[in-house]
DNA sequence: TTGTAGGCGTTATCAC
DNA sequence: GTGATAACGCCTACAA
């Protein structure tokens, strides 16, 4: 009676079978190029399939024989050049294992993390993410989904983690500035909400040299070129005596360049700059950007290894990604 | 008897049910937070699930209630800054429709395209790709999978396409150079194999101004900074008289910058440069790069719209992405 | 509140 | 060569 439903029901093997006048099993044989089938029948079936615009259900197939492992990757901003390298590292490592990679991005809206995790949980076998939400929030969202957290310290023992050796990097940056005679050093930091915190490391490094850090020597902003730009303008207004800045990342350092040009501040003569990330584009600008380099491809590869551990039931690991200072022209 | 199989069979609802001493149905209720279940039973079930490390099968779930549409995206190089913007556009547009995005990259090995398509066919409902393989190859690999091809002309009527208005862009670039008095204009092109071809457009534009194009005025290379670098060195050696170059993309233009610095060639005084793509980093270098801009985010968004058309059974569309010349300091 | 029966679309196994 | 029949793991009825 009610054959004509409103929601266009999916075309199945049986539909094709009916049209071709064979059993659904024969259709399966034809579709999958099994032998043991009359070439003529085969043709008829394939024609019917084409006519109905038949596409096999990946779910049904996956049910019968579990397909490739699918890895979910969550980043916070695909347009921050930091992430493409990380993504490349993950893709390559995943590929070596024959895994698929599902990518999503919060586009800098951290509040969306739990939602993205939940969505990926339905699609992926394991998730790697540059996540800023607190462990408890992530645990609730993950619901048993194996999770590898990138770029920050993690307490939850169930999570894998690849942390960055921020302390060492920041210390090297500050030591370098001090060795060049700087004493009034400012920081362009991320805005106060969330994100891995490089500020304590900055304080510690400065203290190590007996240098004070006044509150107004730190200026925050979004993790973008624009964020760095406005943060530097603000810093400069508050503390014109500062002769060097350490920025949260290279993108913000570029913002400092832009602001500096506008303000007539010369780099490095009037103000030295050190970034963090070591992006390739640091080499392209003038003067080339001195930066704390971290190997993002490697980070991705390590994360995939961690993911594999979790999937095989081994206890979660804590990897530490080393960093190193690359001295170029800006400091 | 043979309960202990070698391949660690998947943990299912029934396993949890057995351990918790309930029916598999009750487990389902507990897992999915349905009402109508004794809190105590619920807890017992959840504990059992945790103990067994149970994770629901996404395939079985998908079978019962078809989940989100999954879009596959194939790019050729995640580290070419062109793609992150495109990816962002696709992700955003897909998200608006509640779709998932699966990403893979050929990493500049074009020969891998068919393989990637086939793999995605098993995971995605529709695929968008920056694909250079000929239509016939793609058709064979796609096997009915809806496909949207980006950045080049397409003949296959079944494919959706978002083409770039290369002709207009190249013509604008050449016209600009001519208006600045250049007559000996060279081109840094992609290597001879595959990839969308801007060479015919270059020839046509030059001819439009009555300018000759000798073979040695075109130098090819890989679509990277390095490729542009070596190509320019070669071009410069063969044709020192050339006063302006048009490059296949901005990345290669950066290579020209690098080579020029090494060779002591000043930009734009000794040689003007115009790129293609209009990447943000063109603004960051010195002199800022004049380039043919195309809106990659928009390209991604349009592609998703095309994908939606294909999925709903409408005939494939052919969108044309407009471009425009952005004049900055390099030409 | 809980359990039983049926079906989602596909493939594998076995008869015919 | 071809067609029933039984899984695969889950969920939505409905019955107990």
> Strand, coil or helix: what is A171?
helix
Say which range, B117-121, B162-166, B219-223, has the weakest mean pLDDT: B117-121
- CA of B26 vs C1' of D16, distance in Å? 15
Predicted local distance difference test score (pLDDT) of residue B197: 75
pTM of the model: 0.87
Return d(Cα A286, Cα A133) in angstroms, integer. Answer: 36
Cβ of residue B64 near strand C, that is under 7 Å?
A: yes
Say which range, B61-65, B84-88, B132-136, has the weakest mean pLDDT: B61-65
Cβ of residue B237 near strand C, that is under 7 Å?
A: no
- Residue A297 structure tokens: 């491809």
Predicted local distance difference test score (pLDDT) of residue B28: 87
Predicted local distance difference test score (pLDDT) of residue A39: 85
Closest Cα in chain B to A9: B66
What's phi and psi for B246, nearest 5 deg? -110, 125
Q: Give whichever of B9-18, B100-109, B236-245 has the largest mean pLDDT.
A: B236-245
β-sheet bridge partners, residue A127: A72, A147
Confidence of residue B194 (pLDDT cuts 50, 70, 90): low
Percent of chain B with pLDDT over 90: 60
- CA of B26 vs C1' of C9, distance in Å? 25
Q: Average pLDDT over chain B, rounded to whole?
A: 90
Which residue, among B65, B100, B142, would best test binding to A if mutated, counting the most A CBs under 10 Å from its CB?
A: B100
Report residue B283 CA to chain centroid gap. 22
Confidence of residue B8 (pLDDT cuts 50, 70, 90): low
Percent of chain B with pLDDT over 70: 96
A-to-B residue pairs, Cβ atoms closer than 8 angstroms = 127
- CA of A213 vs C1' of C15, distance in Å? 84
B:32-71 Cβ neighbours of strand D under 7 Å: 32, 54, 56-57, 59-61, 63-65
Q: Which of B62, B81, B145 sits opposite A81 (nearest CB)?
A: B81
Is the CB of B104 less than 8 angstroms away from the CB of A100? yes
Q: Which residues of B touch A84 (CB under 8 A)?
A: 78-79, 81, 83-84
Residue nearest to nucleotide C3 (CA to C1'): B23
Low-confidence ranges of chain A (pLDDT < 50): 1-6
Predicted local distance difference test score (pLDDT) of residue A195: 62
pLDDT (mean) for B157-168: 95
Predicted local distance difference test score (pLDDT) of residue B40: 85
Closest Cα in chain B to A107: B88
Is the CB of B88 less than 8 angstroms away from the CB of A107? yes
β-sheet bridge partners, residue A190: A221
Nucleotide nearest to A59 (CA to C1'): C9
Say which range, A316-330, B74-88, B112-126, has the weakest mean pLDDT: B112-126
- CA of B260 vs C1' of C6, distance in Å? 73
> Strand, coil or helix: what is A187?
strand
Predicted local distance difference test score (pLDDT) of residue B106: 87
Predicted local distance difference test score (pLDDT) of residue B3: 34
Domains and CATH numbers, chain B: 3-61 (1.10.260.40), 70-164+296-323 (3.40.50.2300), 166-294 (3.40.50.2300)
Q: How many CB atoms lie within 10 A of CB A130?
A: 25
Query: Is the pLDDT reported for residue B307 higher than 50?
Result: yes
Is the CB of B144 less than 8 angstroms away from the CB of A55? yes
Buried b (16+ CB within 10 A) or exposed e, A230-250: bbbbbbbebbeebbbbbbbbb
DSSP, res A130: -
Nucleotide nearest to B42 (CA to C1'): C1
Predicted local distance difference test score (pLDDT) of residue A255: 96
Is the CB of B59 less than 8 angstroms away from the CB of A62? yes
Query: Is the pLDDT reported for residue B66 higher than 90?
Result: no
> Mind listing the pLDDT tens digit for each residue in B195-250?
667 899 999 999 999 999 999 999 999 999 999 999 999 999 999 999 999 999 99
Query: Is the pLDDT reported for residue B6 higher than 60?
Result: no
Predicted local distance difference test score (pLDDT) of residue B107: 83
Residue nearest to nucleotide C5 (CA to C1'): B25
């Amino acid at each position: 009676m009610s054959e004509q439903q409103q929601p266009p029901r999916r075309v199945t093997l049986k539909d094709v079978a009916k049209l071709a006048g064979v059993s659904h099993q024969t259709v399966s044989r034809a579709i999958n190029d099994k032998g043991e089938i009359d070439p003529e029948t085969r043709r008829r079936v394939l024609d019917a399939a084409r006519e109905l615009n038949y596409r096999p259900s990946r779910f049904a197939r996956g049910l019968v024989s579990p397909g490739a492992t699918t890895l979910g990757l969550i980043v916070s901003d695909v347009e921050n050049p930091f992430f493409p390298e990380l993504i490349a590292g993950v893709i390559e490592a995943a590929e070596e294992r024959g895994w698929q990679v599902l990518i999503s991005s919060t586009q800098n809206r951290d509040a969306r993390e739990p939602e993205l995790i939940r969505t990926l949980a339905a699609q992926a076998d394991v998730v790697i993410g540059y996540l800023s939400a607190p462990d408890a929030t992530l645990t609730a969202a993950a619901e048993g989904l194996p999770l590898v957290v990138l770029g920050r310290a993690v307490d939850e023992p169930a999570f894998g983690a690849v942390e960055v050796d921020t302390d060492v990097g920041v210390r090297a940056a500050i030591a370098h500035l001090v060795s060049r005679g700087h004493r009034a050093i400012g920081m362009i930091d991320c805005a106060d909400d969330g994100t891995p915190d490089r500020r304590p490391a900055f304080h510690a490094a400065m203290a190590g040299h007996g240098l004070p850090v006044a509150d107004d020597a730190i200026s925050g902003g979004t993790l973008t070129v624009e964020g760095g730009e406005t943060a530097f303008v603000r810093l400069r207004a508050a503390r014109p005596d500062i002769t060097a800045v350490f920025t949260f990342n290279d993108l913000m350092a570029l913002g400092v360049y832009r602001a500096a040009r506008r303000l007539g501040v010369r780099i490095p003569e009037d103000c030295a700059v050190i970034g963090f990330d070591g992006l390739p584009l640091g080499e392209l600008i003038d003067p080339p950007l001195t930066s704390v380099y971290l190997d993002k491809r490697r980070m991705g590869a390590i994360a995939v290894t961690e993911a594999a551990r979790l999937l095989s039931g081994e206890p979660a690991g804590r990897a530490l990604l080393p960093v190193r200072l690359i001295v170029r022209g800006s400091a």
